[in-house]
Amino acid sequence: MRPVSQLDVRRHNAALALAAVTARPGSTRAEVAAATGLAKATVSTVVDRLVAGGLVTETGPQPRAGRGRTGVGLALSPAGPHGIGVSIGVNHVTACLVDPLGAVRARRLRGGDNRGSSPSAVLAVVERVVRSLVGEGAVVGGVGVAVPGLVRDGVLLSAPNLGWAGVPVALDAPVPVVVQNEANAAALAERRDHADFVLVSGEVGVGAGIVRGGVLETGVHGFAGELGHVCVNPAGPRCGCGARGCLETYAGTDALPPLSAARAGDQDALATLHTAGKYLGQALSALVNLLDIPTVILGGDHAPYAPWLTEPLRGELHHRAIAARWTTPRVLASTLGREAAALGAARAATAPIADDPEAWLQSRDQAL
């Protein structure tokens, strides 16, 4: 425990007040004081600065129960710092501009196969997309980039399904850039509705974002969530990673039939999806047995296949999760579509501002 400086106190108070306004939009200064335990005069100073800096807006007089003056309601300003999120997929680059309330204000989608592509060419596309979203005119607080592979310190160490290894994800951007695994980013996007869950992000690879008590599990080195490389059959087909029988050889999108064939009731397609759902269930049973997670969300390209994957998946969970008799995990389909990873990356990119608004305000002061 070190001594606390005046600046520390100011930063702490700003973060506290902003969190109170975020948690209860419409709160007055007096209510923020009551919720935070800060003195009313302190709250006044802090809130005035948050309003002047564009983070908080006054929503007009609030009706008050009881006597006394009506207060002015406060809320996060929808014109405050937006996040830009970009997800680099095997066959798409998806991006969105997200306001401080979490709403998508603009989106971009570039189709095309990024497999075996040159990283610099794809990163140039990402930069163009980011510039185009910056061009929407909103204040931008950060850029998040989601990639389908292992990330350490802004470097994409390995993305076998892109054929990339050791790629620094550096962008020419005027704001901080946060790089993370795409399944982790997608899980952050689901966090609004769930606190303990695994988000399965299906593409050519299969990733997972594990969230417990609202906190993303990253592991000691940031490499957690590699569900696609859980072995489901030691005698199975060879995976891109070199091992045999990894889940993604059965449940990655390369192994799945076209959606149209499933919808048409094609028997081969249905049998393939049944097998994929079973193996997904086997791998997720391992996760549930190890971590006791109550909710599975099928996301990414798995979500539209959920009508065919869910039943065999549930069957395996019921059969293999040892505590299923007392607590059977729920299986849900994500409703966020392909945008989930970009959305989560955008939110992650502006999270540091919510954690330390004073630092952001100071950087704006210096920039002016």
Residues that bind its own copies (CB under 8 A): 1, 37, 150, 152, 157-158, 196, 208, 210, 212, 217-227, 229-234, 241-243, 246, 282-283, 285-287, 289-294, 319-323, 325-327
* In the complex, minimum distance from the CB of residue 251 to its own copies, in angstroms, rounded to a whole number: 14
Helix (H/G/I), strand (E/B), else coil: 112: coil
In terms of CB distance, is 54 or 315 closer to its own copies? 315
Kind and range of the H or E element at 108? strand 104-111
Dist CA 124 CA 21 (whole Å):
38
Q: Structure tokens of 246?
A: 């990894």
Dist CA 81 CA 4 (whole Å):
28
CB 200 within 8 A of CB 248: no
CB 252 within 8 A of CB 115: no
In terms of CB distance, is 80 or 209 closer to its own copies? 209
In terms of CB distance, is 196 or 356 closer to its own copies? 196
In terms of CB distance, is 241 or 351 closer to its own copies? 241
Closest-CA residue to 292 (of 314, 321, 334, 313): 321
In terms of CB distance, is 224 or 333 closer to its own copies? 224
* In the complex, minimum distance from the CB of residue 243 to its own copies, in angstroms, rounded to a whole number: 5
* In the complex, minimum distance from the CB of residue 341 to its own copies, in angstroms, rounded to a whole number: 19
* In the complex, minimum distance from the CB of residue 289 to its own copies, in angstroms, rounded to a whole number: 4
Helix (H/G/I), strand (E/B), else coil: 56: strand
* In the complex, minimum distance from the CB of residue 273 to its own copies, in angstroms, rounded to a whole number: 17
Which residues lie closer than 8 Å to 287 by C-beta, 6 or more apart? Answer: 198, 208, 210, 227, 230, 293
* In the complex, minimum distance from the CB of residue 150 to its own copies, in angstroms, rounded to a whole number: 6
**Strand 82-88 versus strand 140-147 pairing type:** parallel
Helix (H/G/I), strand (E/B), else coil: 59: strand
In terms of CB distance, is 56 or 321 closer to its own copies? 321
In terms of CB distance, is 132 or 158 closer to its own copies? 158
Give backbone dihedrals phi and psi of 295, rounded to 5 degrees, phi first.
-140, 130
Dist CA 163 CA 42 (whole Å):
54
DSSP letters, 149-171, are SEEETTEEEEETTTTEEEEE---
* In the complex, minimum distance from the CB of residue 24 to its own copies, in angstroms, rounded to a whole number: 14
